[in-house]
Chains A and B, each alone.
Chain A
Amino acid sequence: MYPIIRLILDTPAPREAPPEADSSLRTLRQRLGAEVLGSFAGALTIRHVDAGSCNGCELEIHALNNAYYNLEALGMRFVASPRHADLLLVTGPVSAHMRTALLRTFDATPEPKLVVALGDCGCTGGVFGNSYASFGAVSNVIPVDVAVPGCPPSPRALLAGILAAIAPGS
């Protein structure tokens, strides 16, 4: 126990201020009213779905959970079931073999739900494009509120995208 406490005391917490919501990443207009968005405050739950990525985008989602980005202090956390989720974070081009699983996950997520598509692949199909085995962009399969480009997008870009999904519409 003692070495663990020493380690914690010796290490300053590298907290950084979160980025602003980047509303230029929105692909659909905000459907949710101020009242609903207000009710998210402090408790946005996120379910990640890899719909066919190269696993690069997953590395940045992992990074988002490190001390620098301090996600939970913003009230956000990743959950294990779509039934507990407000927002789906979808990576990859949608492979043909993941289409059904993605649709089922989407259906299992209670309304009101938000979708953020991640990475060049999630936005357009990226280097993999559309093919006999790929449906390309996430928006070809489920409605997407926010699309964050990058290969992979940095954790800050990712966070700016998630914040845009819950920012009030104009």
Chain B
Amino acid sequence: MVLELPEDQPSFPDLSRVFPGALRQQRAMADLLGIAAEGCVDQRPWLRHGAWAQGVHPLRRDFPAATPPLEAAADYRFVRVAGEGVHEIPVGPVHAGTIEPGHFRFSVVGERVLRLEQHLGYTHKGIEKRFEGLDLTQGARLAGRVSGDSTVAFAWAFCLAAEGAAAQAAPARAAWLRALALERERVANHLGDLGFLGNDAGLGVGLAHFSRIKEDWLRTNEQVFGHRYLMDFVVPGGVARDLPQPALAVLRAELQTVESQVGRLQALYDEHPGLQDRLVGTGVVSPGLARQLGLCGLAGRASGQGFDLRVQAPAPPYDRLAVRMATATDGDVAARVALRFQEIQESLRLLRDLLPSLPVGPLREEAPRLGDGVLGLGQVEGWRGPVLMALEAGPGGSLRRVHPQDPSWLNWPALEHAIIGNIVPDFPLINKSFNLSYSGVDL
């Protein structure tokens, strides 16, 4: 769909009334491009804090990329909750743990949360502007760093966008290896998060064991793919390297070990009354609310939203793999934990199917050559949810505009709802059960 806008005061009708999930992106668009959502009640800035002045729009073509940032700090108008006994707890941007920066404003009565308002944008580092003028190889590198924990998903989505725009497809062996990498990324992230989820509910032994299993998994990545997080493995036209022959045996043996170790921890988690007491009924997003907000990916599936690109829009090799999607309807932390266990097991099954059926053939073709003005779109189901990449080519095969879309855009607002009525000390647990990306939406 192409929407032509007038050059002076460009605007479009507010979408957030129909689709609440559009609100933050509308505000980001107003900050970066100066395109306003007409009639939207919330016109506060989102990504602009103080780095550039109001009325200046860094993604406009006439804005020089080398403009230095301002050192101004901007105030943000939080929504105030009034009433007897209500007080506010400001948290962040620097948090107590090793996580990304953002600000959370809790309005509480005693320990109970009445309202949470998030203020993000702290890690905005101008990624979309940075894409301007890059070639496809550089573009894939940057795409793989939009949200480091989803590097395979972003790089693959970017490459699909470029390859699709040039009406070419990666060779079959490359597609298989990309899926191998993507499922390994999914397992790695679930292993890490399951450990932290146990820990946040007081089960330190869960963290100790899951992080040990994850470390083993990452070391295999290093040995087989040359990088612990598989960065820069997916490149335009294919993949960067082949698996060394003995790797297949290493990978296959590892699946067995991990499956039994995770199974044992799952039994431990499932049967630990103290842990379940913290997880069940905590941080609920009902299926109705999830539908309204457009909750997607893993968190969406835990709230009855049965969407997974690997099932509904399977790109090769997923069209041959018949992914079994797990869903739940409770929408609480327990459901998101259970789903992670199920998705690990399913990924291990997929990896077991992928390994013996790796097609022979080339690893990559020439990087696609894009004509000026060509558009491309790529989407991949990352571990968090659907990752989308849209691009427009410029002159000489360079990139004119790239927009990365992390699933966290739609899921962050749901976290504001999930915490209502819960106690403040449960926030880390609820937050971790979603584990949303800051960098992926701050851009």
Q: Which residues of A contact B (CB under 8 A)?
A: 3-4, 7-8, 11, 14, 48-63, 65-68, 78, 80-82, 92-93, 95-101, 105, 126-135, 151-152, 154
- Extra contacts, 9 of them, besides A3-B268, A131-B130 (Cβ < 8 A), are A7-B264, A50-B94, A52-B101, A58-B99, A96-B49, A96-B50, A97-B122, A131-B129, A133-B129
Interface pair A7/B268, CB less than 8 Å apart: yes
B212 part of interface (Cβ distance < 8 Å): yes
Interface pair A133/B126, CB less than 8 Å apart: yes
Q: Is the interface of A mostly helix, strand, loop or mixed?
A: mixed
Q: Is the interface of B mostly helix, strand, loop or mixed?
A: loop
Q: A58-B99, A81-B96 are in contact. Are A152 and B148 (CB under 8 A)?
A: yes
Query: What residues of chain A lie closer than 8 Å to B65, measured between beta carbons?
Result: 131-132
Query: What residues of chain B lie closer than 8 Å to A93, measured between beta carbons?
Result: 125
Among A49, A63, A130, A135, contact of B215 (Cβ-Cβ < 8 Å): A63
Q: Which interface class (under 10, 10 to 19, 20 to 34, 35 or more) fits B?
A: 35 or more
Interface pair B438/A152, CB less than 8 Å apart: no
Interface pair B437/A55, CB less than 8 Å apart: yes
Among B94, B129, B148, B209, contact of A55 (Cβ-Cβ < 8 Å): B148
B427 part of interface (Cβ distance < 8 Å): no
Among A53, A97, A101, A129, contact of B439 (Cβ-Cβ < 8 Å): A53
Query: What residues of chain A lie closer than 8 Å to B149, measured between beta carbons?
Result: 55-56, 59
* Interface 1/0 per residue, B44-79 and A, CB below 8 Å: 000001111000001000010111111101000000
Q: How far is the CB of B187 from chain A (nearest CB, A)?
A: 14
Q: A55-B149, A100-B73 are in contact. Are A132 and B121 (CB under 8 A)?
A: no
B286 part of interface (Cβ distance < 8 Å): no
Interface pair A132/B130, CB less than 8 Å apart: no
Query: What residues of chain A lie closer than 8 Å to B69, measured between beta carbons?
Result: 96, 99, 131-135
Interface pair A55/B147, CB less than 8 Å apart: yes
Interface pair B127/A128, CB less than 8 Å apart: yes
Interface pair A54/B148, CB less than 8 Å apart: yes
Interface pair A52/B125, CB less than 8 Å apart: yes
C-alpha gap A58/B93 in the complex (Å): 15
B267 part of interface (Cβ distance < 8 Å): yes
C-alpha gap A81/B94 in the complex (Å): 9
Q: A132-B58, A133-B124 are in contact. Are A68 and B212 (CB under 8 A)?
A: yes
